[in-house]
Structure 1
Amino acid sequence: MNIFEQYSDFKYIYPPRAEVAIAPGLLSGLGKEWIAQPKYNGSCAVLFINGQSEYKLFNRKNEELSLQNPIQYTALNDSDKYMVLCGEYLNKNKYGENGKPFNHKFIIWDILVWRGRYLIGVTFESRLTLLYELFGTSRGFVSENDMIIFNHLIATQVENVFMAPAYLDNYSELYNEIIQTDLYEGLILKKANAKLEPGFRERNNQSWQIKARKPTLNYNF
């Protein structure tokens, strides 16, 4: 048993983030060992949920995230033990798929701890399967006045919490489509069979992730 496997007390875990960027033109050459998720333009965040009683939302620098709206995060947890989720907190006033501001939402893209177990050694594909089992695959929800359908978001059972969908092919076409929306920066691609490594240092789990972003004034891709 890995000495880090049990997670019963709060200890900050740095999120597994892609540091290597590739030119979007190279996406068409990637094989089926990769899984793509949209890259959202928000603040990378780690959500620590202790049972159904309390939560902490931190940024990727081990600081509690400021200026966040209340969200019922504890309703995401399916046990009385710790759950730790990685995601994007949307706080940059970006426009969503309907052309309107899409702010103060949390988008889950990975799970690190489930039912008090730190998922070290578990592949990304298996963790993604677990997320789908926990939160489903619905691309929409019914509000008081309307039915809202998303192209590149999965709605969870908790208001203002979403999950990133996964794509297994056609990465180049997908990239060209999603960058038309202000909220989406590009794609993150992760190796399906890559096993989670401990995240107690800021730079971790970088060998199995790459990103392709739309050009800005700060970078070409």
Structure 2
Amino acid sequence: MKYESYTYLYPPRPDRAIPVEQLGFFEKRGWVGQMKKNGTCTVLFVTPEKKVITKTRHNDDHKMWKQNESRALEIFENLPGDNWYVFVVETLHSKTSMIKDTLYIFDILVNDGELLVGSTFTERMDTLKEIFNVVDEDNVVSLSN
């Protein structure tokens, strides 16, 4: 399905948290998950012209983050293709004085104009790795040039 103009997309959210003591049970059955970083959930839209629009998970403008002053958005200026992208990120700046102007990208909802709703979490993680040239060795993940 195509995504061709701005429409707010609500980020997928789990129905409930799994108790830590049950994580091994689900992992043995092939389930995957990701760490919550305690940031502010942000839906980040990238236009075909590579302009960035950010909203909270409630479709409100951010009050604590000045995106026009942020260097964290530079990575989105060089995305491949000529269509829309939508990412779900955590903005790691408002809850601590030690981390500022940092985005933790943890999901992708639209890839170069293609709506990814219905794809698996693992497929979307693979898409993120491909887009950002992520190297994943021995459980250490980093961006490559």
Q: TM-score range by the shorter chain?
A: 0.7 to 0.9
Spell out the pairing of 1:18-97 with structure 2 (5 A cutoff): 18-30=14-26, 31-69=28-66, 70=70, 71-94=73-96
Spell out the pairing of 1:89-108 with structure 2 (5 A cutoff): 89-94=91-96, 101-108=98-105
State the distance in 1 between where 2:96 and 2:22 align.
Answer: 27
Is 1:45–1:86's contact at 8 Å kept on the other side of the alignment?
A: yes
Structure 1 stretches of at least 4 aligned residues deviating more than 4 Å after TM superposition: none
Q: 1:137 corresponds to which residue?
A: 134
Deviation track 1:146-190 (CA, whole Å, cap 9, x = no partner) reads xxxxx8663476xxxxxxxxxxxxxxxxxxxxxxxxxxxxxxxxx
Of residues 105-114 and 62-71 in structure 1, the stretch that sits farther from structure 2 once superposed is: 62-71
Among 15, 29, 40, which residue is 2:11 paired with?
15
Task: Give the secondary structure class of the aligned counterpart of 1:28.
Answer: helix
Distance 1:154 1:94, change over 3 A: farther
Task: Give the secondary structure class of the aligned counterpart of 2:127.
Answer: helix
Q: How many residues align?
A: 137
More helix by share: 2
State the distance in 2 between where 1:89 and 1:9 align.
Answer: 24
State the distance in 2 between where 1:127 and 1:14 align.
Answer: 16
Is 1:84–1:114's contact at 8 Å kept on the other side of the alignment?
A: yes
Is 1:58–1:64's contact at 8 Å kept on the other side of the alignment?
A: yes
Spell out the pairing of 1:68-217 with structure 2 (5 A cutoff): 68-69=65-66, 70=70, 71-94=73-96, 101-138=98-135, 154-155=142-143
TM-score for the superposition, normalised by structure 1: 0.55
Task: Give the secondary structure class of the aligned counterpart of 2:106.
Answer: strand
Deviation track 1:17-70 (CA, whole Å, cap 9, x = no partner) reads 123022211122222421121111110111100024311011100012233242
Please identify the structure whose Cα radius of gyration is greater.
1
Is 1:44–1:59's contact at 8 Å kept on the other side of the alignment?
A: yes
Unaligned runs of 5+ in 1: 96-100, 140-150, 158-221
Unaligned runs of 5+ in 2: none
Q: Report % sequence identity.
A: 28
State the distance in 2 between where 1:153 and 1:94 align.
Answer: 23
Q: Could you tell me which amino acid in structure 2 is paired with residue 45 of structure 1?
A: T
Is 1:55–1:73's contact at 8 Å kept on the other side of the alignment?
A: no
Using CA pairs below 8 Å that are at least 6 residues apart, which structure has the higher relative contact order?
Answer: 1
Say what the alpha-carbon RMSD is for the aligned residues: 2.3
